[in-house]
Amino acid sequence: MKTHRFIRSDLLISEADAKELMLKKAQMLIDQMGESLFN
């Protein structure tokens, strides 16, 4: 199984905000990289 690790330096007020931002940034990465992300 291939994994990718997200290391963020964003400072956010709450854990919920951090989770929401992580999901948005992960989706953006998937949209930008497409299938090459899994090669």
Are 38 and 2 in contact by the 8 Å Cβ rule? The answer is: yes
Residue 27 CA to residue 33 CA, distance in Å, equals 10
Residue 9 CA to residue 31 CA, distance in Å, equals 21
**Does residue 4 register a pLDDT over 80?**
no
What per-residue confidence (pLDDT) applies to 31?
A: 92
Residue 25 CA to residue 34 CA, distance in Å, equals 14
Residues in the chain: 39
Per-residue model confidence as pLDDT tens digits over 6-26: 777 778 899 899 889 889 988
What per-residue confidence (pLDDT) applies to 24?
A: 92
Per-residue model confidence as pLDDT tens digits over 24-39: 988 998 899 888 877 7
| Global pTM value | 0.63
Query: Any residues with CB less than 8 A from the CB of 25 and at least 6 apart, and which?
Result: 6, 8
